[in-house]
Structure 1
Amino acid sequence: MWGIAERRGATTIELSAIQMALVQVVYDEFRKQAVWPTMYAVDRAFIKAQRRGVLGATTVMRGLPEGLLMQSHIRPDPAPQDAITLTISGVARCSSADSDVEAFLRSVRWCARQEIRREPEPGETSIKVNRQQMLRAIPLAFRTDSGSLDRLFTLLSVHNWGSVGSCRPSDGAPWYLNIGTHVRRFRNVQSVEEFIDVLVTWDEEERQRHRPTHQLAVGPVDLPPVTRAYLNPKVLDHLRGIDGAAWDISKLSALADELDTCVGSGCVFAAHAVLRALLDHVPPLFGQKTFAGVVSSHPWGKTDGRYLNRLSFFRTQGDDALHRQISKRPDLLMIDDLPEGAAVNALLQGCIAQLQKQ
């Protein structure tokens, strides 16, 4: 959980009118679809909401205080296709968001109680709770519209509070969360400020626990470069933990791990090659011969379908990395040219769902 975006005091720090307008636009777009909007959608909505001559969304976003937006791990400014995600502190700053915030806090407390009361399934180390069960935690007063529970799932999925996995099945089945033991830390949180305090304290404890011990050095110490995650660690852990599937997933798991490592290390061509290999590896799992068939034939949800289309377009870029021969012109591919990690996460979650059905 190192590198969390949340910060203490983000709910009270003063924002300018233009900064507050941008945060509100992100939440309003999220409220419409129950998924985080792309930078392209935010920029268009921000332009429409403001008078002529104001700063662009990207410029305003650069000046936002830490703790309101989830941070990109691979580029300083978001690309048009990147999802713009508010932290729960960011959501709490917005008008009309009180019910979403309260539903989030009640759900976290309820999950903490369930983790103690219920028994895991044989061989499991977490408790599974689904959408219908979560209704017990959310009074009608906080289910303000038909999308409120889908927004709740999205909010619960992006924060570190004890969830060790989540899935929104593409076949219409209810979404579910896997709840680990760390949720016990959050059993008494009554406000966003208390939630953030527990979360940041947990992060500080983990950093301290993993801090290397002091030792004598006779000269300069070369520290390894800091790498950042491209894929969600929860998705990778879930994939590694699958047991008893009809398909051998050793290569799939290795490709996902190597992709995350290559992107985190800035290895441009290796990352492109591994992602292309991953896309070519999975079609049989979906009963298809090509990745185009995976995209067009599998019942992906609306948002995941968009993600998968972006991965389909990427295959041409993979050809560029793999097959463009040397010439007098420079190769211009950059690590930021890769699809956003959320798209690959969506594909891997689809693979996990397929493996669990077989």
Structure 2
Amino acid sequence: MTLTQDQRSLLTAIAQPWIDTSEWPLWANVQHQFDMRGQDADAIFHSLPRVGNEVSFASGYGYAAPMRAPIDPGHMVRLTVAGVSKLPRMRIAVGEPFMHTLRHMIDLYTRRPILVDEVPKTILRSGELTAALPKLDPWFVKVLPDLLSYEPAINTGGGAHLSDGSWEREVTRSVMQFRGMHTVEEYIEKTCEIVTKNAAQTAPFTIEEEQPMPTEPERAPYVDLALLDDLQKAAANTHWKVHKLIALCQGLNDAYKAGNPYVCAAMIRAVMDHIPPVFGHKDFKVVANQHTFMTQRTDKIHALKLVDFKDISDDGMHRQIGSSVPVLTMDNIPQPIRLNAMLQELLTILRKEAAIAP
């Protein structure tokens, strides 16, 4: 699809910081560039072509990751593989290496062993990827996990960023949809076909149509994915190691998406027990009561609500089986904003520590 010059300029403004620093830009910085030209970046962003639905991630696709209007100035804005394919420099740096990697992922999944008593996991590891495809630029290998996270037709399952800078991602059956494809155009066309089909399945019905059984909408990640990226980057310049925190949050996101309240409760409790040392305390209850938050009243309320949740999580994890056991449901799980606020406060501390590090 042909883009206007303004749309192409917007894609370039988003891509340039990413290729220069490995970090996607904050929307406020992109807005400022267009403000200086007397243009409305928000209007241009929302004019970018898109197929499928605007809301559901798995049933919509465009040149950039979806952002609800009005776009939060503090949020990172990202391009998709479709977006980078429209920029010649990015096509070489990302589009073609992405297709090489996708074919490697398909090969990994195809060659997985067949076991009698379990379903084996296929894991893509950064070190093994570099060995298998030695021509890949280290920059591309570094940014690949984030890129995969925003391609709606590919589900890379669980994953982790390790303390040595390497990473791993689970390769799922979703990659088999792209067997036999060699060009970025083929990949984009197939992705659009998949999300369009998903969108049709979730499209509103008319009164003449048979009404489908209602289904629960897919939950967004419990812990914001961009926040996890920011935590990892900030901690790299401090003495704190956050690989366990990242893994716990990824496990929490998986459990939240699956609707498993017991695992969600355990993961939230684990995060609360894990992070107090960064705040200078040994217990989260002390953090909630004594820490001076950046947004004192609101974030303190979030912290105290999480302290109250510890009783519920303890009950869910430690109450033994009996003839009558209370059931923990997803309605009992704290709203995501509460834990995200605590992690945002932790990010602020890490960034301050990184700024004064010698």
Q: TM-score, normalised by structure 2?
A: 0.58
Is 1:163 equivalent to 2:151 in the alignment?
Answer: no
**How many pairs are equivalent?**
263
- Give the 3 Å change call, closer, same or farther, for CA 150–240 of structure 1 in structure 2: same
- Give the 3 Å change call, closer, same or farther, for CA 25–165 of structure 1 in structure 2: same
Q: Cα deviation per residue 1:199-236 (whole Å; 9 max; x = unaligned)?
A: 23333455667889999999xx8997985643179946
Q: Is the 8 A contact 1:88 1:101 kept in 2?
A: yes
Aligned partner of 1:18 in structure 2 is 6
Distance apart, 1:69 and its partner CA: 1.1
2:46, 2:145 → 1: CA distance? 28
Aligned partner of 2:48 in structure 1 is 64
Unaligned runs of 5+ in 1: 1-11, 242-248, 257-277, 295-311, 324-334, 348-358
Coordinate RMSD, CA, aligned = 4.6
Matches within 5 A, 1:180-329: 180-206=172-198, 227=217, 229-231=219-221, 235=250, 239-240=254-255, 253-254=264-265, 278=268, 282-284=271-273, 286=274, 288-289=275-276, 292-293=279-280, 313=294, 316-319=297-300
Aligned partner of 1:350 in structure 2 is none
1:177, 1:227 → 2: CA distance? 25
Amino acid at match of 2:2: I
Q: Is the 8 A contact 2:113 2:120 kept in 1?
A: no
Distance apart, 1:134 and its partner CA: 1.1
Distance apart, 1:237 and its partner CA: 7.6
1:239, 1:37 → 2: CA distance? 26
Unaligned runs of 5+ in 2: 51-61, 226-249, 282-292, 305-334, 348-358
Aligned partner of 2:38 in structure 1 is 54
Distance apart, 1:172 and its partner CA: 1.6
2:295, 2:13 → 1: CA distance? 29
Distance apart, 1:132 and its partner CA: 1.3
Amino acid at match of 2:221: L
1:25, 1:177 → 2: CA distance? 29
Aligned partner of 1:107 in structure 2 is 101
Is 1:33 equivalent to 2:14 in the alignment?
Answer: no
Q: Cα deviation per residue 1:38-97 (whole Å; 9 max; x = unaligned)?
A: 2123334x25xx8x442142232232222111113xx31221221201111111112411
Amino acid at match of 1:64: L
Aligned residue for 1:129, secondary structure, equals: strand
Aligned partner of 1:134 in structure 2 is 129
Amino acid at match of 1:34: S
Q: Is the 8 A contact 2:123 2:170 kept in 1?
A: yes
Q: Cα deviation per residue 1:120-142 (whole Å; 9 max; x = unaligned)?
A: 898554301201111245352x5
Q: Cα deviation per residue 1:87-128 (whole Å; 9 max; x = unaligned)?
A: 111111124111211111110111001101133898554301
Q: Is the 8 A contact 1:31 1:151 kept in 2?
A: no
Q: TM-score, normalised by structure 1?
A: 0.58
Q: Is the 8 A contact 1:283 1:290 kept in 2?
A: no
Choose between structure 1 and 2 for higher RCO, CA contacts under 8 A separated by at least 6 residues. 1
Matches within 5 A, 1:86-105: 86-97=79-90, 98-105=92-99
Alignment counterpart, residue 78 of structure 1, candidates 71, 77, 101: 71
Aligned residue for 1:282, secondary structure, equals: helix
2:133, 2:23 → 1: CA distance? 20
**Percentage of identical aligned residues:** 16
